[in-house]
Each structure stands twice: as structure tokens, then as C-alpha cells.
Amino acid sequence: MDDNKINQNSGFACPLPLTEYKNILLAHGGGGKLTHQLINEVFLSQFKNDLLSQLHDGAVFGIGNERCAFSTDSYVINPIFFPGGDIGSLAVNGTVNDLAMCGAKPLYLSNSFIIEEGLPVEDLWRVVLSMKNAADAAGVQLVTGDTKVVDRGKGDKLFINTSGIGIIPEGVQINPKQAKPGDRIILSGSIAEHGIAIMSVREGLEFETQIQSDCAPLNGLVDAMLAANKEIHVLRDPTRGGVASVLNEIAESAGVGISISEHLIPVSEQVRGACEILGFDPLYVANEGKLIAIVSADAAASVLEVMHNHPLGKKALIIGEVVADFKGMVVMKTRIGGRRVVDMLSGEQLPRIC
């Protein structure tokens, strides 16, 4: 690893210090500190503009008389078929969810395939059927696409990019910067199921009942929440980097503190067991069908009520609140009564989880 660290006196030709590494590491894609460093120093330093700098799950801009959200994600998950889903349903739901987290109704998705030579056509067919089903379930259309094939050993079976466009209804104002002291933090259900489902398959762990990914489209749940109350300030789905990383991003971007209680955060017994075996903290493990909503204190009860009536929000609960102290930080009351800082994920925990 040290060989990869940049020697500040080495005459490295880039005009910026960039990251502290000369070569890209897996951790640069992990959703934690190195990902943020890469995005800030390499991408944002050049691409900076008002829209990109929102650092939302998508960009929000006007087209004609409408406000649109536009989002993109490439999916490189390994394995491409897993308990509870596959790369196709993940690619549809992931982008649908990114749009929903901007408060948008997702409408149109693109799909772009990078296929490794030798992929069985039957596997591609299964993925395509799954994308079709996921698109129908989420109520979106797959409207444009692209197919590339790379030589054997230059890809890994299948990568899929989906980008998507949605429309933001009038009166909806969702943005990470809007978290305000006093706001309540709602979590829609138990965490870490997607990441642990993938890691269990990779590590060959066996349980009495198999842990399933929670991969699901969240736009229906968000519709119901916004219909109940427009005072939703922030929505995020805790994917790569998990609940801990998403809360850190919100705290940083809104310049507030976030206080959560460990004993309130739901983790299924099986997932907790797997986390112990694998050495993971569930707070950092990816979810693909859960959301965090930051809502005004007044709105919390009405939002929770509609969530409880939706299949994907039955177990929704308040896990903490936004505070004026600890600006930019996430602080957790632990089970044993102490307090600890929950930092952003550092290093690589779960490569290629989405």
C-alpha cells in the first residue's frame, strides 16, 4: 500500500495533490472516505457547476414548466444473481430509488450493457426479464439503450448502467442541505440485508433461512409519504457505505449534527449474526430497499402513519434527530449508555456490492 502513496516530492505530473494514492484502489469505489476524496478532488474540481454541486442522488433542473431529476448509476455487483434479486432488478430499482430520493416520480430509464465475451445468452435473457419485471413494478419505461461487448477477461460477465429521468411534483422541496435542528430521522426498516445477502453468497455462509437482499423500488412509498405531508426535508437511500455514510453526508452538507440511538436501529437477528461472523458493522452495510427521511418534528407522525401502511415501510421508526451541536458529525447513543462518533466508512468494506 505504501508504494501506492504519493511522495509529495516525486514531481507527480498532476496539477493537484489529488488523492493520497497514485493508483485507484477498490476502496475508491466503496462509498466511504476515499470515494468522497476522489469525487471532490478529481471530479468536482473540474466538473463543478451549480447542478452537480447539489450532490444529491440526482441533478435537479427545469425543463419547460417542469422540474426534472436526472440520475445515473453503473452496477457492477458480483455475483450477478443473488438471493432476492439480480443485477437487472438492482439496476432498475437503484436508479428508480435515486430519482425517488430527489422527490421525483421516475418516468424513463435508459439501460446500457457492458457484456463480457462468453456470457451465456441465457443469463442475459434472465437479467432482461428481471429488468422488465422491475420496470413494470416501479411503473417506469425503459426507453433507450446501448450494448457493448468486451473481450474475455476485460470485464466480469455483465455491468449495467441505468440512467433515469423523473418529474418533481409541485411543492416538493427535498435536498440534503435542508436538514434542520429539531427534524426527526426516520428509517424505513431493518438494515444491512442487501450487503449481507451478497457477502453470505460470496463467502458460502449457510443459515437456516437464506438472507435475502431487500432490493425494491421505493417510489411508491415516497409517493405515499409526500401525499401525506410535504414537510419532508431530506430523503436518502443508504446504499454503498450504509446508514452511517449517508447520515455523515447529510450532516456535512447541511452543516448540522445528527444524533441517533443504537438500540433503535433495527437489524434482524440473522443479519446481526452474519455481521458478527463476517466482522461487519451493520451501520456501514449497503441496503437497496430502505430509505432515511428527515422530516420536521410536526410532520413525523403523519409520515410514519402512511409508511406503516405501505409494505416497504411497515417497520418504519424514528431513530434520532437533527441537532445544532456536533456540526458535520453523527453521534450515536450506544446500548451501554455512552456516546460515540459514527464516522464515514474508511477503506473498503464490501467491494462490488452494487
Phi, psi of 301 (to 5 degrees): -65, -45
Q: Work out which of 10, 23, 335, 338 binds a copy of itself, going by CB under 8 A.
A: 23
- Min dist CB 150 to a copy of itself, Å, is 5
CA–CA distance, 249 with 260 (Å, rounded to integer): 15
- Min dist CB 244 to a copy of itself, Å, is 19
Binding mask 151-190 for a copy of itself (x = CB under 8 A): x-xxxx--x-x-x-x-x-----------------------
Nearer to a copy of itself, 24 or 227 (CB): 24
Nearer to a copy of itself, 117 or 298 (CB): 117
Q: Yes or no: say if 250 and 101 are a contact pair by the CB < 8 Å rule.
A: no
Q: Name which of residues 299 to 318 contact a copy of itself (CB under 8 A).
A: none
Locate cell 420496470: which residue?
135
| DSSP per-residue letters across 277-326 | HHT--GGGS--SS--EEEE-TTTHHHHHHHHHTSTTTTT-EEEEEEESSS
Q: Name which of residues 232 to 251 contact a copy of itself (CB under 8 A).
A: none
Q: Which three cell numbers stand for residue 233?
A: 426535508
Choices 131-139, 168-176, 212-220, 306-314; region in contact with a copy of itself by CB under 8 A: 131-139
Collapsed DSSP state (helix, strand, coil) of residue 227: helix
Q: Which three cell numbers stand for residue 319?
A: 431513530
Nearer to a copy of itself, 123 or 305 (CB): 123
Choices 28-36, 265-273, 275-283, 324-332; region in contact with a copy of itself by CB under 8 A: 28-36
Nearer to a copy of itself, 149 or 317 (CB): 149
- Min dist CB 247 to a copy of itself, Å, is 20
CA–CA distance, 127 with 165 (Å, rounded to integer): 22
CA–CA distance, 295 with 248 (Å, rounded to integer): 17
**Residue 54 carries which side chain, given as an amino acid letter?**
Q
Q: Work out which of 40, 51, 272, 276 binds a copy of itself, going by CB under 8 A.
A: 51
- Min dist CB 81 to a copy of itself, Å, is 14
Nearer to a copy of itself, 27 or 307 (CB): 27
Nearer to a copy of itself, 20 or 276 (CB): 20
- Min dist CB 305 to a copy of itself, Å, is 32
Total Cβ atoms within 10 A of residue 182: 13
Q: Work out which of 32, 58, 103, 282 binds a copy of itself, going by CB under 8 A.
A: 58
The one-character DSSP state at 212 is: P
Nearer to a copy of itself, 42 or 205 (CB): 42
Q: Name which of residues 88 to 127 contact a copy of itself (CB under 8 A).
A: 108, 110-122, 124-125
Using CB atoms within 10 A of its CB, is residue 152 exposed (0-12), middle (13-18) or buried (19+)? exposed
CA–CA distance, 306 with 302 (Å, rounded to integer): 7
Q: Yes or no: say if 284 and 33 are a contact pair by the CB < 8 Å rule.
A: no
- Min dist CB 188 to a copy of itself, Å, is 23
Number of chain positions touching a copy of itself (CB under 8 A): 86
Locate cell 424514528: which residue?
318
